[in-house]
Chain A
Amino acid sequence: MRPPDAIDGSAPATFVVDTRPISRVLLTRSKRFFVLLGLFLLFMVIINLPVPSGLTPKGLKCIAVFFACLGLWVTSVIPLSVTSLLAIILLPMMGIIESSRAYGKFGNEAVFFILGAFILAGVTMKCGLSSRAALVVLQKFGGAPRRLVFGVMFCSFLLSLMMPEHAVAAMMFPIVSEIARSLGLRSDQRKYAISLYVGMGWGAIIGGLGTLLGGARGPLALAIFQESTGGKISFLDYMLVALPVALMLLPVAFLLLIVFLRCPLPDVGIARDALRARIHAMGRMQTDERATAAVMVLTIFAWVGWGHHIGLANIAIGSVVVLFMLGVVQWRDVEQYVNWGIILMYGGAICLGWALEDTGAALWIGKLTLARLADTPFLFVLSCAVITLVLTEGMSNSAVVAMLLPLGLSLTRDMGLDPRIAVYAIAIPSGLGFSLPMATPPTAIAYSSGLFTFRDVAVGGILLDLLAWGCFILTTWLYWPLIGLSLMGN
């Protein structure tokens, strides 16, 4: 996303001057240097340690690379994608795996599934189909103030089941802004505007949990799982486990929102008129929209029905090719909508995860950490979910998956558990960051309205984190056995 350029006499949003005391500025600016130095020293110390029992020399080197990358992912002193590239070059350079294998892992099916999903989402946004869908759904809910909030939330939820949550939030943001503006809210109704923005963010996050399309963490988890175990999890399998959690959370989040952001309710008739005017301005559905809608519907059916046999990535890329053949998308659109950094990040993370597993390093670390916390399968799931949830509030959810899943997979095998449990216990909670703006892109986009601060939604957000964790645990306890996911050892 680019900063807006100045027009006419308006100030150019090019520079920001940090006016904090110089000591704090210096500390912030030197953070990168000290973090890099610290991680380099840590790396050097680890590779020079005597090899502990139960670990191979390659495993020790892999742990050194893992901690270096972990530090870089957590602190974000260099972009996540560049850290992944570093992992790819370090692994062969240190003799852990061969270059050809390291780069080969980069071409994982999940990477191409994410690429396809990004392109499909981009086309949906570019042709206006997603905006039209959002406006139509919102108009249905626009009759009463609370229904309107639920409408915003539901709309974000629904779209995030089919496209990345950050794209949904970015697309919904101007619509929500227009609704809030058209309502002409009084100062005592400020909380109503906040509930619209927060509802948009929370709706997108919850929807993003439900399928593999809501965020790239799901496909990443599947790829790490596939590389480590050789097993496969289909689109439908994942949805069957994840969607109930999302469906449970949606009403819970809505109730929390209206309880914590109570305020005098505005007359929303004007907003409905604004939405109607906007739909009217869009005119009839164009050929591009119809074609995109048809391809999207077919793609989702194919993922659900034949994903296991044909392959998720093949379907995604195939759909993209069809869209190009139909002429509804140009390559420059792809360049605009695809986040290549994320693609690079996942390639490296998959490679590192595989190396950790292959060298036995993941199992060794897992035994030292997670296994000590959780000596029963249920406690293992509980601990994985808690650790993931806490970490995801402070760092990228994909980085959390890349970091924890290799350990989790090794432990499940060691405990004789179904390794899919580790995938779900980490991939699903990694999307449950509702409080902090850095937790997930939808939250960050909602915060960017500038209408509220962390304190305004802190209690509600933290409570929703806890309730989300509770919902997830409840499904593991009551629902998982019904779909054949046993927490009992083999």
Chain B
Amino acid sequence: MDELMRSASEMIRAPLDLWLPASPGDYIENPGYLKFDLMTRGIRVSETLLQDLHVRPVKDSARGVGSGIDLLLPEDVWVNTPVREPFVASSPYRLGRDDDGWRVVIDPPLDEFAGRWVSVGVGPKPRFLEKTLSTGRRTSAVVALQGELLILDIGNREEYWNRRLSSRRGEGLDLSGAEAPSVAEALEIVAAAAEEGFGGDVYVNAGLSLEPDGGLRKVEPYVQALKRHFNPLVRLAASPPVEEAWVDHAYAIGVDSIAYDIEVFDPRTFREVAPGRAGQIGRDRYLERLSRAAQVFPNGAVTSQLILGLEPLAESLKGISALCELGVLPLLSVFRPLQGTGLEDWPTVETISVAPVVAFLFHCARRHGIGMIWGRGISNEMTPLEARFFTTEDATAQVKRSKFYRSRAGAVVARNLAGLRRALRVRTVRDSFDSAGL
């Protein structure tokens, strides 16, 4: 950890401000540590409790694999924590409920802290997820609600997890039967979600695409239809396109925030863990398109996920630093080994051991002046603003801004500002030719 601290301090050219809990039992008092620990270790919850009570369906997480339940921790921190993986059985956390509401309770094996608890919220189960669409499919079969985001998964999951194309993390998984919603279905879902106050933030996942456009042509009709009918903030996760003009195109058609998830920064590990992506897309293209996107999109609206635990933590530090230098907001997730996959024996990380990296995330993003509000409402990744809990900083101004944009008025302001910015910045080439008199 000392080595990590030293590296992090050198990168931010100041001693790393890191808050360390006295013991693992104290995690429960800190929403940041608790989020990370829950993401890593999961939470035990009885099936009866899940089925009897009105919580969101235990939804596939992280692009189609693993399980997860959304919990709202204190300080408005969302976490998506595994519930069905084998490693959950050894988690010290249990989801309980009494008359006062839901609780995360510490149980054995952390005996000395057993009985400590914290009140949490559970992602409410909206009615629209239970609806049957006019096409006969169930809404919950084609979308998910994660944190505050409505997830439209229109990518090809099998392709994403196919070893040749993507990652050894998903080797051997059965991913059949997940068909993407049509544009009409997507509109029907967002309309129903909007009636219940959801759908202001739509996360469109294009999955992995080897097309030169990075999957944008497939996404375009969804984005345009959503913008035309509901004008939500559209976040897009896609593959980096071959030509940078596609990045501009994505912004122009209505994408408000874009993610090219590099996941692993170290070139050698990247090749080893994601041989398909390394061979057919390449790490450099990720960084180049992220750089362009950071110029085109609003400050903080370009994100890239780094997965802690897949590469040495020193490389993760370098990754955070490199992304911040490009103007990209790094988001951290944690590696969860899945049984039957190529990396089922890969060691997992301890929350305490990654604390300097997470603290560095906050400091590095702040040092580079990257806006942190676009990270709001995300449950399966640690955002730089949430990483403040690993430091002694309270980031009051950023937190207030984030709270404002989560409010109903703030959402309206955000949508209109996004539209205004696009209207100012985007010009059609035809206009340029006309004005040149050619």
Residues of A in contact with B (beta carbons under 8 Å apart): 1-3, 8-19, 22, 25-26, 29, 76, 79-80, 166, 396, 438, 441, 444-445
Shortest Cβ distance from residue A439 to the other chain B in the assembled complex, whole angstroms: 11
Binds A, one of B3-11, B338-346, B425-433: B425-433
- Given A9-B213, A11-B241, also A17-B429 (CB < 8 A): no
In the bound assembly, the distance between CA atoms of A310 and B182 in angstroms comes to 68
Q: Let me know if B135 is at the binding interface, CB within 8 A.
A: no
- Given A25-B424, A25-B425, also A19-B295 (CB < 8 A): yes
- Given A11-B243, A444-B438, also A3-B248 (CB < 8 A): no
For the complex, would chain B's binding face be called helix, strand, loop or mixed by DSSP majority?
A: helix
Q: Let me know if B242 is at the binding interface, CB within 8 A.
A: yes
Shortest Cβ distance from residue A156 to the other chain B in the assembled complex, whole angstroms: 17
A18 in contact with B213 (CB, 8 Å):
no
In the bound assembly, the distance between CA atoms of A18 and B295 in angstroms comes to 9
Q: Out of B211, B252, B425, B433, name the residue touching A1 (CB < 8 Å).
A: B433
- Given A9-B242, A10-B212, A11-B241, also A18-B249 (CB < 8 A): no
In the bound assembly, the distance between CA atoms of A26 and B425 in angstroms comes to 9
B213 in contact with A76 (CB, 8 Å):
no
B296 in contact with A14 (CB, 8 Å):
no
B252 in contact with A15 (CB, 8 Å):
yes
Which parts of B331-390 form the interface with A (CB within 8 Å)?
none
In the bound assembly, the distance between CA atoms of A447 and B241 in angstroms comes to 28
In the bound assembly, the distance between CA atoms of A438 and B437 in angstroms comes to 9
Chain A residues near B424 (CB-CB < 8 A):
18, 22, 25-26, 29
In the bound assembly, the distance between CA atoms of A1 and B437 in angstroms comes to 9
A11 in contact with B429 (CB, 8 Å):
no
Q: Let me know if B436 is at the binding interface, CB within 8 A.
A: yes
Chain A residues near B251 (CB-CB < 8 A):
15, 17
Query: Chain A residue with minimal CB distance to B242?
Result: A9
B213 in contact with A16 (CB, 8 Å):
no
A441 in contact with B249 (CB, 8 Å):
no
In the bound assembly, the distance between CA atoms of A444 and B421 in angstroms comes to 30
- Given A9-B242, A11-B213, A11-B245, also A16-B427 (CB < 8 A): yes
Q: Let me know if B246 is at the binding interface, CB within 8 A.
A: yes
Q: Let me know if B48 is at the binding interface, CB within 8 A.
A: no
B296 in contact with A19 (CB, 8 Å):
yes
Chain A residues near B428 (CB-CB < 8 A):
14-16
A12 in contact with B436 (CB, 8 Å):
no
In the bound assembly, the distance between CA atoms of A22 and B426 in angstroms comes to 12
Chain A residues near B432 (CB-CB < 8 A):
16
A13 in contact with B438 (CB, 8 Å):
no
21 A-B residue pairs with Cβ-Cβ distance under 8 Å, sorted by A, are A3-B429, A8-B212, A9-B242, A10-B243, A11-B212, A11-B241, A11-B244, A11-B245, A11-B249, A14-B249, A14-B429, A15-B252, A15-B426, A16-B426, A16-B432, A17-B252, A18-B425, A18-B427, A19-B296, A25-B425, A438-B436
In the bound assembly, the distance between CA atoms of A441 and B436 in angstroms comes to 9
B421 in contact with A13 (CB, 8 Å):
no
Number of chain B residues whose Cβ lies closer than 8 Å to a Cβ of chain A: 30
In the bound assembly, the distance between CA atoms of A8 and B249 in angstroms comes to 15
Which parts of B88-118 form the interface with A (CB within 8 Å)?
none
New contact pairs (5) apart from A11-B243, A15-B428, CB-CB < 8 Å:
A2-B430, A14-B429, A14-B430, A29-B424, A438-B436
Chain A residues near B430 (CB-CB < 8 A):
2-3, 14
Which parts of B232-252 form the interface with A (CB within 8 Å)?
241-246, 248-249, 251-252
Chain A residues near B246 (CB-CB < 8 A):
11
In the bound assembly, the distance between CA atoms of A339 and B249 in angstroms comes to 30
Q: Let me know if B435 is at the binding interface, CB within 8 A.
A: yes
Task: List the 4 closest A-B pairs by CB distance, nearest first.
Answer: A9-B212, A11-B245, A15-B252, A11-B243
For the complex, would chain A's binding face be called helix, strand, loop or mixed by DSSP majority?
A: loop
Chain B residues near A79 (CB-CB < 8 A):
434
A19 in contact with B425 (CB, 8 Å):
yes
Q: Which of B241, B426, B438 has the most CB of A within 10 A?
A: B438
Chain B residues near A76 (CB-CB < 8 A):
435, 437
Query: Chain B residue with minimal CB distance to A79?
Result: B434
Chain B residues near A444 (CB-CB < 8 A):
436-438
A17 in contact with B438 (CB, 8 Å):
no
Query: Chain A residue with minimal CB distance to B297?
Result: A17
In the bound assembly, the distance between CA atoms of A461 and B119 in angstroms comes to 75
Chain A residues near B426 (CB-CB < 8 A):
15-18
Q: Out of B212, B243, B248, name the residue touching A17 (CB < 8 Å).
A: B248
Chain B residues near A3 (CB-CB < 8 A):
429-430, 433
Shortest Cβ distance from residue A337 to the other chain B in the assembled complex, whole angstroms: 14
Shortest Cβ distance from residue B328 to the other chain A in the assembled complex, whole angstroms: 15
Chain B residues near A445 (CB-CB < 8 A):
438
Which parts of B184-232 form the interface with A (CB within 8 Å)?
211-213
Q: Which of A12, A26, A441 has the most CB of B within 10 A?
A: A12
Chain A residues near B295 (CB-CB < 8 A):
19
Chain B residues near A14 (CB-CB < 8 A):
249, 252, 428-430
Shortest Cβ distance from residue A139 to the other chain B in the assembled complex, whole angstroms: 28
Shortest Cβ distance from residue B410 to the other chain A in the assembled complex, whole angstroms: 20
In the bound assembly, the distance between CA atoms of A18 and B427 in angstroms comes to 7
Chain B residues near A26 (CB-CB < 8 A):
424
In the bound assembly, the distance between CA atoms of A10 and B249 in angstroms comes to 12
A15 in contact with B249 (CB, 8 Å):
yes
Chain A residues near B242 (CB-CB < 8 A):
9
Q: Which of B211, B245, B435 has the most CB of A within 10 A?
A: B245
B211 in contact with A9 (CB, 8 Å):
yes
In the bound assembly, the distance between CA atoms of A22 and B212 in angstroms comes to 30
Shortest Cβ distance from residue A216 to the other chain B in the assembled complex, whole angstroms: 12
A22 in contact with B421 (CB, 8 Å):
yes
A441 in contact with B243 (CB, 8 Å):
no
Provide the B275-305 mask, 1 if CB < 8 A to any CB of A, else 0: 0000000000000000000011000000000
